[in-house]
Chain A
Amino acid sequence: MTMTATLGHAHADPHHIGRATEHPGPAPKRIVTAYGFWVFLLSDIVMFSCFFAAYAVLVDQTAGGPKGSEIFEQRNVAIETVCLLLSSFTCGMAGIAADVRNRLWFYLAMAVTCVLGLIFLAIEFKEFADLVARGYGPSRSAFLTAFFSLVGCHGLHVSAGVLWLLTMMAQVFAKGFRADVLRRMMCFALFWHALDIIWVGVFSVVYLLGGGA
């Protein structure tokens, strides 16, 4: 720092607040993008928390319809969970492949992630379809309303994630590992992992707590 700068500093900063650390300036684009996406994910989690809260409020309002323990099939849920957790691992693999610019491993890992996501969705869809067929649709009771909404909201997110995943594969195919493509890939990975975290919540609150007597 020059002489004048130090003088100006002492003058304009009576509390000596700026002395400890000087802010270095705007962050690089990669940091800014990821940071913004984190903020979005937090807001998304707030939205999910509303559906969790609604579920907690309405879980006992079965209106003469079935309780959770009567309709949940733990085996299917276990398969769903394994699929989603595995897909998080393969999604991480895809991220690493993108970082080292390996197309083959990238496509492979993304494809496996996609398939696991689709299996998850298929099982969930079948669960929903069976319930509706037995007359236990979301209109049956407030409990089923909250159940379908919470689990369905997560399912919609996974569907959007699959769409995003396919778009990312197409982007890498068309554009290669460009800086902006890599930033989007990073955001996609964050999104996919966040869905996993939310599923852990859904699994615990809905299926584990509700599965017992």
Chain B
Amino acid sequence: MPAVPTVEATMLGKLDWSAIPLDQPIPLAAGGVVLLVILGVLAWVVVKGHLPYLWHEWITSVDHKRIGVMYILLASVMLLRGGSDAIMMRIQQAIAYQSQGYLPPEHYNQIFSAHGTIMIFFVAMPFVIGLMNLVVPLQLGVRDVAFPTLNSVGFWLTATGALLVNLSLVIGEFARTGWLAFPPLSELSYSPGVGVDYYAWSLQISGVGTLVAGINLVTTVLKLRTKGMNYLRMPMFCWTTLASNLLIVAAFPILTATLAMLLLDRYLGFHFFTNEAGGNVMMFMNLIWAWGHPEVYILVLPAFGVYSEVVSTFSSKPLFGYRSMVLATMAICIISFMVWLHHFFTMGAGPDVNAIFGIASMIIAVPTGVKIYNWLFTMYGGRIRFATPMLWSVGFMVTFIIGGLTGVLVAVPPADFMLHNSMFLVAHFHNVIIGGVLFAAFAGFEYWFPKAFGFRLDERWGKVGFWFTFVGFWVTFMPLYIAGMLGMTRRMQHYDVAEWRPWMLVAAFGMLLLTIGVLAQVTQIVVSIRNREALRDRTGDPWDGRSLEWATSSPPPVFNFAFDPDVRGEDAYWALKHHAKQQQLEDHSGPEYQDIEMPKNSPTGFVCAFFATVMGFALIWHIWWMVILGGVGAFATFVVFAWRDHDEYVIPAAEVERIDRINIEERRNLVSLAGTL
């Protein structure tokens, strides 16, 4: 480092041509393809003249439904990226027996780090937050979330994080430290490159977005419920949303603080986690897992909510043991903060501490078991329809139980000493995250897709997708349990043990099935869009649903409900519907239609995220003037937003009436049609 910085160093920081990995064909080609796709889509949008539509209706939208859809779109695209990483790793381990394979170690390390980071932060998180955004206000019977513009800011900051992670493909490198960047490996002395900085800054920025989403949804559930929607009348998905977002609010600040400490170590020579000057590495372990374990439940609780909705709807029965389900959810919410140490039993906490955390970890299986039994009893005696969402739910129950049981197994400290850091653990957490969260994401996607877009998804391709994914999952991950038992540790770039080889080959074959499953789901979307007229959902209630989101049209009007629904019990819409059937769907003779005020769209989120991207990139590459520019820009954006004089617009009563009448007419046709059958 020269004492006086040169002009280049002042203007560009650490950035120079060596940041472009010209010698590494794989990331360069991957980055090139992504860039081509992005440019192609952009060109198509501009040429076709869709840009104004995209800007006014989506990018600047503060409508919770649109933001939910965008979250899910982001998650789906990132699923393809994270999935590609997975395919590369499975192929590497299948061929790297007594050889180097095709991925050099430094690249392989980046891939498994990126795979974990992307799948948790930019697939699972945006997918569940997207579903919650889309559905929860509808289920609560309200017009929007508590803070619509902040909601947009939250989404775009998450997208910023995803963008920065992908940027690391072509400019610089990603972390080689694993998805939680444990020090001292992640400290500057052992990871001098920009990889960890990409990791940390993208998580800091998207973490702010997640926190905003969490605050928003907690406030929405607690303070914005329609008339009569008492706590114990809320659909189960709202309860799990509440629990999950309480965890976000309580846990994500820990991640922010921990990463801030790591960054201070790296940027300013602090000694939080260094080996020198009294730094304490174990403090990082405790802090990161104090966030990391609740994070698991942040993801899986909404998943449980999706299953509750789906199982109840497709069994045509109220959810069995509703109140025990509420209790189990909140119990998991609390206990999830008391088990973090089981992630490092082997790191010297001693038998007493290990025993306490081992027992706590086993206790958390109890409320989870309660839930499983509740779903089974909901199905018992019901008229079950095995539509695609239901298939995912039943597939989940079978799969998740195995994952849960292996979880209880590694919660026993002596067993954990054997299995720690082995492929057994890798199999376990994929078992619960794919079997729990991803299956729920797909179930929720299939279930609420008609609500979001007004037409159903093709059932045949959906079932093909389910079966390939389901079987593919088992074929991929069961061998990893066995490999772990045979002593194979995780994150191996190559190995020489002959016994592991066959299992790696089986797992690679399973990955092929999983890939076909994903392709089938992509096909399903394409086919469904083509046949959308045949699959049209005219009534807004395609599954004979039970909660309020089915009480409005598909897609719902921007104001969701013409009248605030008046809730009188659990399964609010089911009661309304049966009441209406008895009453022969009486006309709305009661209240008059009224003007509705809705929040105006705002580019605040997008502009703010633009400046956050600039700032994040500048921080990663030490381009200090650009950091200041980004910071000032973000602040200015908020001030401009705060200076607006009109933040709402009015939908006139006549327009509300026109939109509502169409839906009522469709529903009446359906009821009279059912009457003639």
CB pair B270 A138 closer than 8 Å: yes
| Inter-subunit contact B575/A22 (CB<8 Å) | no
Contact yes or no, B253 A15, CB < 8 A = no
* B293, chain A: closest CB distance, angstroms: 15
User: Is B254 touching A26 in the complex (CB atoms < 8 A)?
Assistant: no
Number of chain A residues close to chain B: CB under 8 A = 55
A174 to B642 alpha-carbon distance, docked (Å): 11
CA distance A184 to B258 in the complex (A): 30
A15-B323, A146-B272 as given contacts; A21 in contact with B230, CB under 8 Å: yes
| Chain A residues near B231 (CB-CB < 8 A) | 23
Contacts of B278-305 to chain A: CB distance below 8 A: 278-280, 283, 287
- A133 part of interface (Cβ distance < 8 Å): no
A67 to chain B, nearest CB (A): 12
CA distance A167 to B225 in the complex (A): 33
Most buried by B among A8, A24, A171: A8
Q: How far is the CA of A142 from the CA of B272 in the complex (A)?
A: 6
Residue of B at shortest CB range from A180? B647
B501 within 8 A of A: no
B482 within 8 A of A: no
Residue B360 lies at the interface, judged by CB distance under 8 Å to chain A:
no
- B-side contacts of A62, CB under 8 Å: 278
With A25-B564, A26-B142, A141-B271 as given contacts, are A40 and B215 in contact (CB-CB < 8 Å)?
yes
Closest chain A CB from B302 CB (angstroms): 18
Q: Is the CB of A139 within 8 A of B270?
A: yes
Chain A residue nearest in CB terms to B635:
A163
The DSSP consensus for interface residues of chain A is helix
Known A-B contacts A17-B233, A145-B264; the reply to A50 vs B257 at CB < 8 A is: yes
| Binary flags per residue of A153-189, CB closer than 8 Å to B gives 1, else 0 | 0000000000100010001001100001000100000
When each residue 171-213 of chain A gets 1 if its CB lies under 8 Å from chain B and 0 otherwise, what string results? Answer: 1001100001000100000000000000000000000000000
Q: Is B146 an interface residue (CB 8 A)?
A: yes
CB-based contact A141/B277 at 8 Å: yes
Cβ of B261 under 8 Å from chain A: yes
A26 with B224: CB separation less than 8 A: yes
Contact of B571 among A12, A23, A138 (CB under 8 A): A12
B223 at the interface (CB under 8 A from A): yes
Tell yes or no: A85 within 8 A of B by CB.
no
Q: Are B146 and A47 in contact (CB under 8 A)?
A: no
B564 CB to nearest chain A CB (Å): 6
In the complex, chain A residues whose CB is within 8 Å of the CB of B211: 40, 43
Q: Which residues of A contact B642 (CB under 8 A)?
A: 167, 171, 184
Q: List residues of chain A with CB within 8 A of the CB of B568.
A: 5, 8-9, 12-13, 18
Q: Flag whether B650 is at the interface (Cβ < 8 A).
A: no
User: B579 near A57 (CB under 8 angstroms)?
Assistant: no
A23 x B227 contact (CB < 8 A): yes
Residue of A nearest to B249 (CB): A43
Q: How far is the CA of A23 from the CA of B231 in the complex (A)?
A: 9
Q: Mark B400-435, 1 if CB is under 8 A from A, else 0.
A: 000000000000000000000000000000000000
Q: Is the CB of B249 within 8 A of A42?
A: yes
Nearest residue in A to B274 (C-beta to C-beta)?
Answer: A142
- Which of B100-140 touch A at CB < 8 Å? none
| Most chain A Cβ neighbours within 10 Å, of B147, B272, B564 | B272
Decide if B256 is an interface residue (CB 8 Å cutoff): yes
Given known A23-B225, A23-B228, A35-B219, contact A138–B261 (CB-CB < 8 A): no
A175 to B645, CA, bound (A): 9
Residue ranges of A at the interface with B (Cβ–Cβ < 8 Å): 4-5, 8-9, 11-13, 15, 17-18, 21-27, 31-33, 35-36, 39-40, 42-44, 46-47, 50-51, 53-54, 57-58, 61-63, 138-143, 145-146, 148-149, 163, 167, 171, 174-175, 180, 184
